[in-house]
Chain A
Amino acid sequence: MIWKRGILLFLLALTGLVLETSVLGVATLDGSKPELLLLMTIALAMNEGPAFGATAGFVLGIATDVFLGLPKGVSALVFTAVGYGVGRARAQMSAPTAWLPIVMVAGATLGGMLAYGGFGMLLGEHVSSRELFRHAALSSAYNALLTPFVFPIVRALGARLRPAGVVR
């Protein structure tokens, strides 16, 4: 039944990339765009657990790097870590509130973008710290705004395509 999960990831990657590069490329927040694939990773991690969160992070991260021509592997590494971290953190929470998804998305996006910028610097890219923090803050705010729209869809798809007997 892994192929169901494969279909899910493929659909999410395709939709996310198309939307990120068309609609959301125009509607920026003071020049910053949302990280839609990272948002999807976080949503999957929160709903499906750390294992699938890490896997989804790897697949969606690779898709981001390959399609957008970014340094290959960096997004995969960051998204994997975020997916696993969010999944583990969610598993520790016994009484989630309605605000939890938005707070998790904002925090995880901020951390993920800062980590991405840090890796970029390690690989020799010239990144202004001030600009990195500004973009990270704006993108996490943008992702938080998109959470109420993305979460229900990802949760519904995840539940529909969850193989039988899988423990989240």
Chain B
Amino acid sequence: MIRMFDRTRRIRLLLAVLFTASILVITLDFRSDGNFLDAIGRGAMTVVGPLQEGARTVFRPVGNFFAGFTRVGSLKARIAGLQQENQLLVQREEQVSDIQRENGSLRKLVGLRERLRLKTLTARVVGVGPSNFEDSVFLDRGSADGIRKDMPVLAGDGLVGRIIQVGRHTSRVTLLIDASASVAARIARSGEIGVVDGAGERELRFELIDPEANVERGDRVVTSGYDNSVYPPGIPIGTVARLAPPSQSLSRLVYVTPFVDFTALDFLLVVTGPQK
């Protein structure tokens, strides 16, 4: 019994000593800056610092794993926000790409106009011909703007076709690839002349007058401007893609890949007058 009482007293005495020590430390810290305890703390950091680095390296994946659980709610909200932002950015990027493409197309038109030195009017494709048996497009310019029938139409890369129908504020263009289209042309390198016909397909037929004409794959084909053609001379048409096998015919047939992409027509030039 006495022993227990002694033990209880000892514990209470210990408690009093510890409380007093704590209060002394609080007082010491409160009354002075940079005391010896701070120095001990700095020394401890020197020792513990490398251990911290090691522990952080080893346990980082574990910590991040558990941190992920506790941040699920806020991360979900953040993901939703970022997805929305991403959608806006994708839309903006598409708009920028569109503007860049338009810009490129217009620059090509300007370049072509300056090279050929023709009087031109810029028009925009606003529609496609409805029939499956003809290849044509509608432009946003008409007679009120000075458009006339049979005027040649160009894109930045080369010849597109000619005006076949004119309204007050709109007009229709027959494309070069249309089965009914044809244009007098020549090989830019050798000068060999012939007629380019649309075939209703992406390749053009080029029938050279001379059956032994000097023609090779890769040769540039341009308009010849002969026979009072509606098309001025020197307008790029395409390149020779392949040569038909020789035959007993009185002409030489080759196939031409057009420069213009007829599936992506946007801004076009309508040639309104002769060269300056």
Contacts and interface: CB of A to CB of B under 8 A. Distances in A.
Interface of A: 14, 17-19, 21-30, 50-51, 54-55, 57-58, 61-63, 65-67, 69, 71-74, 76-77, 80-81, 84, 123, 167
Contact of B7 (A57, A69, A167): A167
A17 B18 CA distance: 22
A61 B22 contact: yes
A74 B60 CA distance: 31
Contacts of A167: 7
Q: What DSSP secondary structure best describes chain B's contact surface?
A: helix
Given A55-B18, A66-B37, A26 B67 contact: yes
A51 to B, nearest CB: 5
B8 to A, nearest CB: 10
Given A17-B48, A73-B24, A26 B64 contact: yes
B10 A67 contact: no
Given A24-B63, A67-B48, A72-B29, A58 B11 contact: no
A24 B14 CA distance: 33
6 contacts: A26-B60, A65-B37, A72-B28, A77-B22, A77-B23, A80-B19
Contacts of A30: 70
A51 B56 contact: no
A26 to B, nearest CB: 4
B62 interface: yes
B2 to A, nearest CB: 15
Size band of the B side of the interface? 35 or more
Contact of A72 (B18, B25, B70): B25
A55 B14 contact: yes
A74 B55 CA distance: 27
A31 to B, nearest CB: 9
A23 B48 contact: no
Contacts of B7: 167
Contact of B14 (A21, A28, A51): A51
Contacts of B45: 67
Contacts of A50: 11
Q: What DSSP secondary structure best describes chain A's contact surface?
A: helix
B26 interface: yes
Top 9 A-B pairs, shortest CB-CB distance = A73-B25, A73-B26, A72-B29, A77-B22, A26-B63, A23-B59, A27-B66, A22-B56, A22-B55
A64 B45 CA distance: 12
B22 A73 contact: yes
A29 B41 CA distance: 27
B264 interface: no
Nearest to B70: A29
B26 A71 contact: yes
A73 B70 contact: no
A81 B21 CA distance: 13
B190 interface: no
A156 B14 CA distance: 25
B40 A23 contact: no
A117 to B, nearest CB: 15
Contacts of B14: 51, 54-55
B197 to A, nearest CB: 74
Given A18-B51, A22-B56, A24-B63, A77 B19 contact: yes
A23 B55 contact: yes
Interface in B19-53: 19, 21-30, 35, 37-38, 40-41, 44-45, 48, 51-53
A14 B25 contact: no
A14 B51 contact: yes
Contacts of A17: 48
A128 B56 CA distance: 31
B22 A67 contact: no
Given A18-B51, A26-B64, A66 B26 contact: no
A72 to B, nearest CB: 4
B15 interface: yes
